[in-house]
Amino acid sequence: MGDVLKVPTMAEFKAAGKQPEILFWVGCAGSFDDRARKITKAFVRLLNKAKVDFAVLGTEESCTGDPAKRSGNEFLFQMQAVTNIEVLSTYDVKKIVTACPHCFNTLKNEYPSLGGNYKVMHHTQFLKSLLDEGRLTIEGGKFKGKRITFHDPCFLGRANDVYEAPRDLIKKLDVELVEMKNCRKKGLCCGAGGAQMFKDAEVGQKEINIERTEQAMEVKPEIIAAGCPFCNTMMTDGVKNKAEGQIEVMDVAELIANASDL
């Protein structure tokens, strides 16, 4: 695990006159947040293992603009979007995979009318396709038999109707997948969306992430699986508050990568 990750950039590909199979859109959390960086690395290890020809934009990537848009700052959002679309066009990008449902939603739904048309996949969808094509194998490894519940990210689930890909992957780990009372279409938000991640919540009786963590605890999981770096942060905080040391919060990509000790 100590060896350096192979993370080529689009610029390098272009210099070599080649085009990667996918662009891995890392996102701000995946690039800068300590916890989310681990998810990024786990996903890259899986890409390397499956021998996927991928590249990142690296220093040419910039925020998709999602938090600005959902705060109401359409100007800033569109500035970000148009700038990103320009960069993506210079590399003639066709297919984007990202581990962040917010980037996923924005790139997939809001970039097209600004001139950015790509096939956009969430990393769980892409991993599922690798699995189906036989390019990736998943084994339970150290998670075998563990009780895992999956927290649906709003921007993957309700926003884009992706419910099964992450679950299909988790089931492959030979674990016991348990559902919370609010799951899939009825999944409860972690509290981070709509730019809430970046501000304190309004006055109320409880933090949303605590409510969600309590729902998870009801089904007594050993691990809460997530598919979004922001949900991951929120749930990790919630667990710290309510069930420190009893429950782990892990991204689906981390589960798969760690299961086979990648």
Partner 1 sequence: MSLLPNIIFAIIFFSGLGFFARNIRKLRRNIYLGKDVDTSGDTKLRWTNMAKIALGQGKMTRRPISGFLHIVVYLGFVIINIEVLEIVIDGFLGTHRIFSNIGPIYGVLIGTFEVLAFLVFISVVIFWFRRNTVNIKRFMSSELNGWPKLDGNLILYFEIVLMALFIIMNATDVEFQSSNNGNIISQFFAPIFEGFNVNLIERIAWWMHIVGIIIFLNYLYYSKHLHILLAFPNTYFGSVKPKGFLNNIESITNEVKLMMDPEADPYASDSTDTLAPDKFGASDVLDLNWVQLLNAYTCTECGRCTSECPANQTGKKLSPRKIMMDTRDRLVEVGNNIDSNNGEFKLDGIQLLGDYITNEEIWACTSCNACVEACPISIDPLSIILEMRRYLVMEQSAAPMELNNMMSNIENNGAPWPYSQMDRLNWKN
186-205: which residues touch partner 1 (CB under 8 A)?
186, 188-189, 191-205
| Subset of 88-107 contacting partner 1 (CB under 8 A) | 105
Residue 118: burial class (beta carbons within 10 Å; 0-12, 13-18, 19+): middle
Q: Which of 7, 50, 177, 219 binds partner 1 (CB under 8 A)?
A: 7
Contact 240, 124 (CB under 8 A): no
Quick note: the x/- pattern for partner 1 over 114-143, rule CB under 8 A, is: x-----------------------------
Q: Which of 16, 17, 113, 134 binds partner 1 (CB under 8 A)?
A: 113
Residue with tokens 């919540």: 201
Question: Is residue 160 involved in binding partner 1 (CB under 8 A)?
Answer: yes
Question: Is residue 45 involved in binding partner 1 (CB under 8 A)?
Answer: no
Question: Is residue 71 involved in binding partner 1 (CB under 8 A)?
Answer: yes
Quick note: the x/- pattern for partner 1 over 202-221, rule CB under 8 A, is: xxxxxxx-xxx---------
Nearer to partner 1, 74 or 139 (CB): 74
The helix (H) or strand (E) run that includes residue 14 is: helix 10-15
> How far apart, in whole angstroms, are the C-alpha atoms of residue 79 and residue 64?
10
How many Cβ atoms sit within 10 Å of the Cβ of residue 108? Answer: 21
Q: Which of 50, 82, 219, 262 binds partner 1 (CB under 8 A)?
A: 82
| Subset of 16-35 contacting partner 1 (CB under 8 A) | 26, 28, 30-33
User: Among residues 18, 93, 46, which one has the least CA distance to residue 260?
Assistant: 46
Tokens of 220: 């007594």
Kindly determine how many residues on this chain lie close enough to bind partner 1 according to the rule CB under 8 A: 76
Nearer to partner 1, 41 or 128 (CB): 41
Question: Is residue 58 involved in binding partner 1 (CB under 8 A)?
Answer: yes
- Determine the interface stretch with partner 1 among 45-53, 124-132, 152-160, 169-177 (rule: CB under 8 A): 152-160
Cα dihedral 239, 240, 242, 248, rounded to 10, equals: 30
Q: Which of 12, 110, 174, 176 binds partner 1 (CB under 8 A)?
A: 110
Contact 159, 202 (CB under 8 A): no
Intra-chain end-to-end CA distance of the chain, in Å: 7
3-state secondary structure at position 82:
helix
Nearer to partner 1, 105 or 124 (CB): 105
Q: In the complex, what is the shortest distance from the CB of residue 192 to partner 1, in angstroms, rounded to a whole number?
A: 7
The torsion region of residue 84 among left (phi > 0), alpha (psi -120 to 50) and beta comes to alpha
Contact 156, 108 (CB under 8 A): no
